[in-house]
């Protein structure tokens, strides 16, 4: 739960109304726009402008950090693509009094690491990588080199199953349930580690305890579903990790999700439930495709299971298709025991 004194634009007493559950207002290209509840930016406006104020810019840019809370900044790397959406979100947690933790320093782009360093006033205490993919962890060493006191790079080492481009080894391995803390007494910012294999074997998410926020890396995205790419990606582990995240949201009263790509997501538990339902619905289509063409292969099945997705995206969809096929075959094997 977000504390009112950490909001950039605190709500005024008695001013919120039912209309805030249906639409909110933001800024694009300097002009006011209305964002409806089903649109991707709705959750971000609910976090930043809880009273419905039209003051938050929704334009994607990589030149300056975007304040989300008084202790939370987002700087998006200039690496937009079909795989990364508007770019990789790096988050800075803390303030000038206690320093900052950087989560996901992004790809090795000097202008991005320089931007993170400047946004933190050079006072970066820890660098955390949610996983080892090329758009998340390569910026860690260059960012560390900018800091005279060399803050520790934290995370989980890439597994043997990871692709060569995803090699990563932190200065220190994080343990599931470990708590990373900045500050003391009244001024604390605490991240709790949740190991969430699935998208990658070394993937982790982080609960920002004081604010009731969940940083999900690539495990939960806004506007798209993440690719599960075997062997490092595992669909069974991915679905189990979604259940872990749901429990974390319940335990810490998490209302908002901070993904590595896209805007902030609201109604965290509902978003996770919808994502799991989507994955299982897709898996049912994969199973139907396999039954329809029992002698077929991946190219045959992807055309049937992803017939609602543009054919140009089928090469990416084929990776997650394989993850579903592996899971279905494992479930069949277990049922036969």
Does residue 276 fall inside a structural domain? no
Q: CA-CA distance, 68 to 71, in Å (whole number)? A: 8
Q: Domain check: are 309 and 328 in the same one?
A: yes
Does residue 40 fall inside a structural domain? yes
Paired sense of beta strands 172-173 and 179-184, if any: unpaired
Contacts of 178 (CB under 8 A, 6+ apart): 192, 193
Q: Domain check: are 246 and 309 in the same one?
A: no
Q: Which two three-digit tokens encode residue 194?
A: 């949740």
Q: Domain check: are 219 and 321 in the same one?
A: no
Q: CA-CA distance, 138 to 131, in Å (whole number)? A: 10
Domain of 45, in residue numbers: 1-58
In the block, which residue shows the tokens 């039954």?
291
Q: CA-CA distance, 319 to 332, in Å (whole number)? A: 20
Contacts of 336 (CB under 8 A, 6+ apart): none
Does residue 291 fall inside a structural domain? yes
Residues in the chain: 337
Q: Domain check: are 91 and 182 in the same one?
A: yes
* CB 115 within 8 Å of CB 62: yes
Does residue 275 fall inside a structural domain? no
Does residue 299 fall inside a structural domain? yes
The whole-number pLDDT of residue 14 equals 47
Q: Domain check: are 73 and 203 in the same one?
A: yes
Q: Domain check: are 254 and 287 in the same one?
A: no
In the block, which residue shows the tokens 């987002």?
74
Q: CA-CA distance, 175 to 149, in Å (whole number)? A: 24
Q: Which two three-digit tokens encode residue 251?
A: 């335990």
Domain edge (last residue) among 216, 233, 267: 267
Q: Domain check: are 154 and 287 in the same one?
A: no
The whole-number pLDDT of residue 11 equals 67
Q: Which two three-digit tokens encode residue 52?
A: 């419905």
Does residue 88 fall inside a structural domain? yes
Q: Domain check: are 251 and 286 in the same one?
A: no
Q: Domain check: are 332 and 263 in the same one?
A: no
In the block, which residue shows the tokens 């950087």?
102
Does residue 243 fall inside a structural domain? yes
The whole-number pLDDT of residue 236 equals 97
The whole-number pLDDT of residue 3 equals 63
Q: Which CATH number fits the domain that encloses residue 82?
A: 3.60.15.10
Q: Domain check: are 47 and 65 in the same one?
A: no
* Nearest 10 degrees: Cα torsion 43, 194, 272, 68: 0
User: Among positive and negative, which fits the CA dihedral 86, 88, 91, 92?
Assistant: negative
Q: CA-CA distance, 144 to 27, in Å (whole number)? A: 34
Does residue 272 fall inside a structural domain? no
CA distances for 326 relative to 117, 233, 299, 333, angstroms: 42, 11, 15, 11
Query: Consecutive sets of 10 residues in the chain, 337 residues long: mean pLDDT of each?
Result: 68 59 92 96 96 94 96 97 94 95 98 98 97 96 96 97 94 98 87 98 97 97 94 97 98 97 97 97 97 94 96 94 96 85
Three-state secondary-structure class, residue 36 = strand
Domain edge (last residue) among 58, 85, 101: 58
Q: CA-CA distance, 123 to 140, in Å (whole number)? A: 15
Q: Domain check: are 47 and 175 in the same one?
A: no
Q: CA-CA distance, 118 to 277, in Å (whole number)? A: 41
Q: CA-CA distance, 145 to 108, in Å (whole number)? A: 12
User: Among positive and negative, which fits the CA dihedral 122, 124, 127, 130?
Assistant: negative
Domain edge (last residue) among 216, 242, 267: 267
Three-state secondary-structure class, residue 323 = helix
Q: Domain check: are 162 and 52 in the same one?
A: no
* CB 50 within 8 Å of CB 16: yes
Q: State the total domains in the chain.
A: 3
């Amino acid at each position: 739960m977000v504390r009112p004194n950490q909001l950039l634009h605190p709500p005024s007493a008695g001013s919120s109304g039912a209309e805030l559950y249906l639409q909110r207002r933001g800024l694009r290209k300097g002009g006011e726009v209305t964002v409806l509840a089903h649109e991707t930016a709705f959750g971000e406006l609910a976090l930043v402008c809880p009273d419905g104020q039209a003051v938050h810019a929704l334009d994607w840019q990589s030149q300056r950090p975007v304040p989300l809370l008084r202790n939370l900044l987002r700087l998006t790397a200039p690496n937009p693509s079909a795989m990364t959406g508007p770019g990789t979100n790096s988050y800075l947690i803390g303030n000038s009094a206690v320093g900052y933790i950087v989560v996901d320093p992004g790809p090795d782009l000097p202008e991005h690491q320089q931007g993170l360093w400047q946004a933190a006033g050079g006072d970066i205490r820890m660098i955390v990588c949610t996983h080892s993919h090329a758009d998340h962890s390569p910026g860690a060493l260059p960012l560390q080199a900018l800091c005279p006191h060399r803050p520790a790079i934290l995370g989980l080492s890439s597994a043997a199953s990871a692709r060569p481009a995803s090699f990563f080894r932190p200065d220190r391995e994080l343990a599931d349930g470990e708590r990373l803390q900045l500050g003391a007494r009244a001024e604390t910012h605490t991240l709790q580690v949740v190991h969430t294999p699935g998208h990658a074997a070394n993937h982790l998410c982080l609960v920002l305890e004081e604010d009731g926020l969940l940083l999900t890396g690539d495990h939960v995205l806004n506007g798209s579903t993440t690719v599960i790419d075997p062997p490092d990606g595992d669909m069974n582990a991915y679905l189990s990790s979604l259940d872990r995240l749901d429990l974390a949201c319940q335990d810490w009263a998490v209302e908002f999700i901070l993904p590595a790509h896209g805007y902030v997501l609201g109604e965290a538990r509902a978003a996770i439930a919808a994502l799991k339902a989507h994955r299982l619905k897709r898996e049912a289509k994969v199973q139907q495709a396999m039954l329809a063409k029992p002698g077929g292969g991946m190219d045959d099945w992807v055309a049937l299971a992803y017939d609602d997705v543009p054919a140009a995206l089928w090469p990416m969809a084929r990776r997650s298709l394989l993850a579903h096929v592996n899971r279905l075959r494992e479930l069949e094997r277990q049922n036969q025991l």
